Amino acid sequence: MQVTDLKNPALRTWIQEWAELCTPDHVVICDGSKQEYDHCCNLLVKAGTFIKLDAPANSYHCRSDLSDVARVEDRTFICSTRKEDAGPSNHWHDPADMRQVLKGLFKGCMKGRTMFVIPFSMGPVESPIAKFGMEITDSPYVVVNMHIMTRVCSKVTAKVEAGAEFVRCVHSVGAPLAETQADVPWPCAPIEKKYITHFPETREIISFGSGYGGNALLGKKCFALRIASVQARDEGWLAEHMLILKLTSPAGVVKYVAAAFPSACGKTNLAMMEPTLAGWKVETIGDDIAWMKLGADGRLYAINPEAGFFGVAPGTSMKSNPNAMRTLDQGNAVFTNTGITMDGGVWWEDHDAAPAPMVDWQRRPWSPGCGRKAAHPNARFTVPAAQCPVIASEWEDPAGVPIDAILFGGRRASVVPLANEALSWEHGVFLGATMASEMTAAAIGGAGQLRFDPFAMVPFCGYHMGDYFAHWLKLGAQAPDRSRLPRIFYVNWFRKSPAGKWLWPGFGENSRVLKWIFDRCNGQGKAVSTAIGNLPSADALDLTGLRMTDEDTQALLAVDRAGWLEVLPQIEAHFARFGNRLPEALAKQLADLKARLEA
Ligand code: OXD
Ligand code: MN
């Protein structure tokens, strides 16, 4: 299909205007076909960006530029008309001024390259919760990864042609090619020219200078979280940085759980967990993002808007996440910035295979003990979710799945117990708003200081977080039947003893906590009412077969009053950042907690 074949003038003009500014050699409207995927992979092999691997099947190794290995939060902007609408957690830039800057950068930026126009759906195309996007890009790497991570298809083009709304996404690696200039394996712009910009009022994303993950695959963090959080606020639903899992009891009863943890706290591992408790089953719906809407029956229904996993490779192993390893074994994956083994496979730190001489992520010779890491710590795999051996059969149900429990958590070596059930929806929102991890002695701020990441959304909320908290409170207040809303819990797998020993084994053993949560949602499961919430009583947690001392169990389930009282000033300072946009209900929750702790 040619641009001139497009019947919707809004779509056609939008593409033509960008093509005139960027001056690509060609413009291609993508259709999501296998031929298109293979063609882009071949282009990337020719360019030296991809190497076809011997194993797993139909998979590629990709290397990025040294300077382009992760999301760039300092270069990520929310361009709302009013600065105060972006709030204290975002970098704001005036939209008109930013458009001028971008116009200058995009002028001629696709010279020597092909402009791809990718029609994609976040969520199953027919789902009432799904939304559409169009991404213009000059990166075949983005085309390949969008094929895996979203639903790229001509059906979306047809729907947009028929008038469906879409989010306008524009991306360039920012590296035009002069007439005789040879390309490099990973074209990108220097850091000071990278701009990941969002225009929430007009639902637009414009990204320049980076080819990497969350900066370039615009369906993921930019759309499904930053822009979608604004759409969700305006339309009365929730766009969240949450995994979704299906939990089935030995009796065959099913509960759905959504969970928010900051990046690198094991969301993918939990979403694909192998329970150690006999008869229990965990299946995956999603590992990173949940879109949730109240259904006609008053329950909160969630879809995973993505179609693939963009997971961190280092640390992924048969011990930490066997189902992710099995997903990768099926092939059809892209491995970005991992090591390459001598027999044409991939390797990363903490992989199951023992390290042996190989080629590192920058394609240099590497041997164990050489003092460098073989994989970049943020090396990633991109793989279709459908290949996951524990993907739930209903993961693409257009209606979504009804959520029974929402979990929040962070990395807390002290004070916070293993599990805690919120006293109410408002208290649950307070738990989400005070999510935090402890900084280690290595980080500026020092040990014991908390880094707050409310709802794990600090890098991803497209508007003022005070208003975001208010939106959560409003959703609860307006629910037709509050007893049908999910119960909210706070979990902490990372508690340590004063001597620094992990108190909880984690991984598959977390199923014991899931079982208690399941029981609570079923109106069973014993809990002790405490100043901080409802905690499992020692006999309510199934610890059979675990070698835990009574002392450790007590420490995991105790209320550390003195510790909590010490933490309160940090929560006060955290809340103060939101100024007069902090909902009163949250200030009240804090005051109530203090009063309960002091009682
Ligand atoms: C991610 C993140 O890449 O949260 O998913 O950083
Ligand atoms: Mn994430």
Domains 3-49+70-235 and 240-307+396-598 share a fold: no
Identify the nearest ligand to the CA of 149 by its number. 1
Between the CA of 241 and the centroid of ligand 2 the distance, in Å, is 6
The pLDDT value given to residue 446: 54
Ligand 1 midpoint to CA 310 (Å): 8
Q: How far is the CA of 221 from the centre of ligand 1 (A)?
A: 8
Give, using CA atoms, the residue closest to atom 2 of ligand 1: 263
Query: Atom of ligand 1 at shortest distance to CA of 288?
Result: 5
Give CA torsion, residues 201, 457, 304, 243, to 10 deg. Answer: 180
Q: Which residues line ligand 1 (CB under 6 A)?
A: 214, 263, 288
| Ligand 1 pocket, mutate which of 76, 218, 221 (most atoms under 8 A from CB) | 221
Q: Ligand 1, closest atom to CA 263?
A: 4
Q: What is the pLDDT of residue 447?
A: 57
What separation in Å is there between the alpha carbon of 264 and the centre of ligand 2? 8
* Cα gap 305→293, rounded to integer Å: 13
CATH assignment, 308-387:
2.170.8.10
165, 320, 417, 495, 501 from 552: Cα distances, Å: 54, 23, 11, 10, 10
The Å distance, Cα 543 to ligand 1 centre, comes to 32
Atom from ligand 1 closest to the CA of residue 241? 4
SS (H, E, C) 316-336: CCCCCCHHHHHHHHCCCCEEE
> Which residue from 69, 71, 225 has its CB within 8 A of the most atoms of ligand 1, so it is best to mutate?
71
The tens-digit pLDDT sequence of the chain (599 residues) is 899 999 999 999 999 999 999 999 999 999 999 999 999 999 999 999 999 999 999 999 999 999 999 999 999 999 999 999 999 999 999 999 999 999 999 999 999 999 999 999 999 999 999 999 999 999 999 999 999 999 999 999 999 999 999 999 999 999 999 999 999 999 999 999 999 999 999 999 999 999 999 999 999 999 999 999 999 999 999 999 999 999 999 999 999 999 999 877 889 999 999 999 999 999 999 999 999 999 999 999 999 999 999 999 999 999 999 999 999 999 999 999 999 999 999 999 999 999 999 999 999 999 999 999 999 999 999 999 999 999 999 999 999 999 999 999 999 999 999 999 999 999 999 999 999 998 765 554 455 689 999 999 999 999 999 999 999 999 999 999 999 999 999 999 999 998 999 999 999 999 999 999 999 999 999 999 999 999 999 899 999 999 999 999 999 999 999 999 999 999 999 999 999 999 999 999 999 999 999 99
Strand order through the sheet with 419-421 = 281-286, 243-248, 254-260, 405-409, 487-491, 419-421, 534-536, 527-529
User: How far away, in angstroms, is 270 Cα from ligand 1 center?
Assistant: 15
Q: For residue 438, what pLDDT is reported?
A: 84
- Say if strands 308-312 and 380-384 run parallel, antiparallel, or are unpaired: antiparallel
Q: Which residues contact 266 (CB under 8 A, 6 or more apart)?
A: 320, 493, 506
Q: Whose CA is nearest to atom 6 of ligand 1?
A: 263
- Nearest-CA residue for atom 4 of ligand 1: 263
71 alpha carbon, closest ligand:
1
Active-site positions read 265
CA of 288 to the centre of ligand 2 (A): 5
What is the whole-number distance in angstroms between the Cα of residue 263 and the centre of ligand 1?
Answer: 5
pTM value is: 0.97
Instruction: Give the amino acid at 123.
Output: G
Give the C-alpha distances (Å, rounded to integers) separating 320 from 273, 314, 507.
9, 11, 6
The closest-lying atom of ligand 1 relative to the alpha carbon of residue 214 is 3
- Ligand index nearest the alpha carbon of residue 380: 1
Number of Cβ atoms within 10 Å of the Cβ of 369: 6
Q: DSSP string spanning 218-285?
A: TIIIIIIIIIHHHHHHHHT-EEES-EEEEEE-TT--EEEEEEE--TTSSHHHHHT---SSTT-EEEEE
Fold of 3-49+70-235: Phosphoenolpyruvate Carboxykinase; domain 1 (3.40.449)
> Which atom of ligand 1 is found nearest the CA of 262?
4
CATH of domain 240-307+396-598: 3.90.228.20
Say which ligand is closest to the CA of 72.
1
Question: 473-498 in b/e burial notation, b at 16+ Cβ within 10 A?
Answer: bebbeebeeeeebbbbbbbbbbbbee
Q: What is the pLDDT of residue 439?
A: 73
Q: Which atom of ligand 1 is nearest to the CA of 456?
A: 4
Domain ranges of the chain: 3-49+70-235, 240-307+396-598, 308-387
Tell me which residue has its CA closest to atom 1 in ligand 1: 263
Which of 73, 242, 263 most suits a substitution to test ligand 1, by most atoms within 8 Å of the C-beta?
263
Running DSSP on this structure, what letter comes out for residue 391?
Answer: B
For a ligand 1 pocket test, name from 218, 288, 376 the mutation site with the most ligand atoms within 8 angstroms of its C-beta: 288
